[in-house]
Structure 1
């Protein structure tokens, strides 16, 4: 795959990595970092919003490389918010697995997260040439709109039919496998990693707050791998100092808002359902489809 210099003004070759974010101002990338931080961890698709917001404001599309690198902000937020849980899963889970005690909560959680990451890694490697290229067909507004509508319907189904009665201590290996399979579909822009995993966790019978928490924890290896891999890709692409500074500004604003998004979602789901996200995604998806068809966006 050919690689564009960070100074390229326009991404025209479909086989060149899109470094559009390098041409944004610090103010613009701060705003997009805030958008990314909120929407990456809410079940509403960060990719959709990072395509729509710049489009509505007349800004350069930041590109898929920006979206992937910004996942390091989610990594920082999840680590900070769930540090105690992560430490317990890693320490106790590793100890139990080594001791062949596979039925403990921590060992089941650790194995579930590890196994659940495999489908996404396989799918990511298979689709990386399409996902990262300039003007990727998967980043079209029509694809994002259709994915948003489909996911809104699946979330509505999960919300209305699932039991919502299993707690965090009842998570099993099979939950990690099923939610991990759902996570792989999040490579399609508009599906949303948080949305797909939350929906799958609800179908597994987890209560809403537990489903959201498990979604965050299971996604940690995926967002870590994706974020650091994209940093390496950007290094190989020859991103200049100004580009790294721009990316850093985005990461800072995204990290702060991602932490607030975790706090807000978990507290919201303690007492409320996911219907607000169902309707939001449905309306957003329909708007993108209609706007794409009639040329409004």
Structure 2
């Protein structure tokens, strides 16, 4: 893998990790198109860390407040004031709901990792599930934006989005698209659904990177190419978050549904013919 290929793959990772078009499917498509059979585990971990940095930087103040709220809530738990204080402080609530909503994807990742990895070897499954992503996005945009936000979101809504994130470990199902759609189905305000989706990506991306580290061994890697892809993933990831939030505030996600259908059909037909 040369520097140009690393930059392209880093760009694809950064953009599609947060845009609702499935990063896993697009990485498979991009690597096939570039003739890159294996990017290497070290580079894959770096790409995950790049997108992780992007979302942390974008929501830095929220994350700091959530961490503070979580630590203070542990004291509240000791003092018997956990529930009342959680209801009063949205950051405490958001911190605990993020932990709760991350449990489903953790369970799926541990129990079905080998089966999921087998699905990443071809184009047919990602292409088909990209069509499913398009359907989820299209249907979710036909629903009225709910009124549930950080003040009144609860366990039910968090778990529904968490289950959506767990399903999105399948290649072709967009993590952001599935979780945002789940949030809208649950009655969340569309902007809060997107924000909560991005916050949920933090433990999910971190967990994926840590899970891969156990298989990380020495080997020959192009450090310059890896660094280039890493930086591009950070920048493109940050821009993708900003762009999607703007789209959600001002327009709809229909354009991404159409995109998923077009790309899914092209790749599905191509994989069946060739």
**What TM-score comes out, normalization by structure 1 length?**
0.82
Match of 1:258 among 237, 244, 247: 237
Tell me the equivalent position of 2:219: 239
Tell me the equivalent position of 2:99: 114
Superimposed CA distance per residue, residues 64-104 of structure 1 (whole angstroms, 9 cap, x where no aligned partner): 94556522111101111101001111212432353113323
Match of 1:226 among 204, 208, 225: 208
Q: After TM superposition, give the deviation of residue 175 of structure 1 in Å.
A: 2.0
Q: Aligned pair 1:274/2:259, yes or no?
A: no
Q: After TM superposition, give the deviation of residue 56 of structure 1 in Å.
A: 2.9
Superimposed CA distance per residue, residues 129-155 of structure 1 (whole angstroms, 9 cap, x where no aligned partner): 3445xxx33442110011111121122
1:48-63 to 2 correspondence within 5 Å? 48-57=25-34, 59-62=35-38
Tell me the equivalent position of 1:195: 177
User: Partners in 2 of 1:232 and 1:245 — Cα distance?
Assistant: 23
Kept in 2, the 8 Å contact 1:111–1:173? The answer is no
User: Partners in 2 of 1:167 and 1:178 — Cα distance?
Assistant: 15
Aligned partner of residue 70 in structure 1, secondary structure: helix
Q: Aligned pair 1:38/2:15, yes or no?
A: yes
List alignment gaps of at least 5 residues for structure 2: 77-81
Q: After TM superposition, give the deviation of residue 34 of structure 1 in Å.
A: 0.8
1:67-78 to 2 correspondence within 5 Å? 67=44, 69-78=46-55
Superimposed CA distance per residue, residues 134-182 of structure 1 (whole angstroms, 9 cap, x where no aligned partner): xx33442110011111121122111112434333433323222111111
Superimposed CA distance per residue, residues 203-262 of structure 1 (whole angstroms, 9 cap, x where no aligned partner): 122222221111010121111111233244223xx333x245533332111011101111
Greater relative contact order (Cα < 8 A, sep 6+): 2
Tell me the equivalent position of 1:4: none
Q: Aligned pair 1:128/2:140, yes or no?
A: no
Give the root-mean-square deviation of aligned CA atoms: 2.1
Tell me: CA distance 1:137–1:226, structure 2 relative to 1, closer, same or farther (3 Å). Answer: closer
User: Partners in 1 of 2:170 and 2:250 — Cα distance?
Assistant: 31
Aligned partner of residue 112 in structure 2, secondary structure: helix
User: Partners in 2 of 1:205 and 1:177 — Cα distance?
Assistant: 13
1:90-239 to 2 correspondence within 5 Å? 90-99=67-76, 100=82, 101-104=85-88, 105-132=90-117, 136-235=118-217, 238-239=218-219
User: Partners in 2 of 1:209 and 1:79 — Cα distance?
Assistant: 18
Kept in 2, the 8 Å contact 1:42–1:194? The answer is yes
Aligned partner of residue 148 in structure 1, secondary structure: helix
Aligned partner of residue 108 in structure 1, secondary structure: helix
